[in-house]
Structures are given as C-alpha cells and as structure tokens.
Amino acid sequence: MSPARAMGGFTLVEMLVTVAIVAILAMGAVPFAQLASQRVKESELRTALRQIREAIDAYKRAHDDGRITRRADVSGYPPSLEALAEGVPNAKPEGPRRIVFLRRVPRDPFHPDRAADPARTWGKRSYDSPWDAPREGADVFDIYSRAEGAGLDGVPYRQW
C-alpha cells in the first residue's frame, strides 16, 4: 500500500462521484419542495375564500334580519371587505353596539405584493355584475383570486 493511500483520504474521482450523486438527489427534491409550497398556498387560498364568503353571507343574514340598518337602495351585501372587519352599528338595542364579521381580512396568498393591503389583493364581484364577467360595484357579493394559473386540480384560481 502506498503512503498516500494509507492516510485514508478520498481521491478526486471519489469526490466527483459523491458530488454528482448529491446533485442528482437535490434535483429530484426541488420539484417536491415546489409542489409542497404550492399545496400550502392553495390550502391558504381555500381557507381565506371560505372565511370571507362566510362573513359576506353572515352580513347579508344580519341585514335581512334587521340587525343592520336597512336602506331601500342597497342590496344587503357589505359595501367593502373592510366593513366586515371594522364592523357595522347594530340596529337592534340588545347585543353589542357593533357587529364584526371578520377578525381581519385575509390576504390572497398568491398576490405578488406582500405589502399590499389585504382587502386590495382580492378581485371583487358586485351583486349586479354577471357571474361570467365579474366587476366591482357598490357592494361585495363575492370575491375571487386574481392569480394567474391553475391549481393542482386544473381549475383556474380565478374560478375557485
């Protein structure tokens, strides 16, 4: 045995083979990490949509029940997403003075600007706009994500 081999070091070929194996394993792990990240964002999107839509429905029920002051020229849906979190005056004497429907407005997880106001990250559909061409108006009947692309199930995020 040569003195260099007796020292127990690695040869250049052994090091190159090891680096190549680690690189191949890393290339296989990157798509799984991206997939996991997309799944987390989709889960957050699904949760945020559910929370906001439930708050919109609760606002409409409160309006229909007379707990929110009724006006003839409004649909009964909230005027903005901020109104869900800020609350509205309770029209009935019993109960709290303000009715709050959301603790905070969640952010669209796919919106690129992380510093943007959460209510501004969503697309809003007014009650008087058609379902296939949503547009903003005097109230918020529904919301949708403005994100381009589709989910892992193939459905575009705008249609969730």
**pLDDT in 10s for each residue of the chain, 160 residues:** 555 555 678 898 888 999 989 988 888 777 888 888 899 999 999 999 999 999 999 999 999 998 998 888 888 999 999 999 999 998 888 877 899 999 999 999 999 998 999 999 999 999 999 888 889 999 999 999 999 989 989 999 999 9
Q: What residues contact residue 156 under an 8 Å CB cut-off, 6+ apart?
A: 149, 150
Q: What is the pLDDT of residue 1?
A: 54
DSSP code of 138?
S
Q: Residue 94: its pLDDT value, please?
A: 81
Is 127 exposed, middle or buried (CB count within 10 Å of its CB: 0-12, 13-18, 19+)? middle
Quick one: pLDDT at residue 9? 80
Write down the mean pLDDT value for the chain.
Answer: 89
* Residue 50 CB neighbour total at 10 angstroms: 11
Taking the C-alpha atoms of residue 78 and residue 88, their distance in angstroms, rounded to an integer, is 10
SS3 157: helix
Task: Determine whether 146 is exposed, middle or buried from the number of CB atoms within 10 Å of its CB (0-12, 13-18, 19+).
Answer: middle
Tens of pLDDT, residues 10-44: 898 888 999 989 988 888 777 888 888 899 999 99
Q: What percent of the chain has pLDDT over 70?
A: 96
d(C-alpha 18, C-alpha 24), whole Å: 10
Q: Which residue's entry shows tokens 């190549």?
A: 20
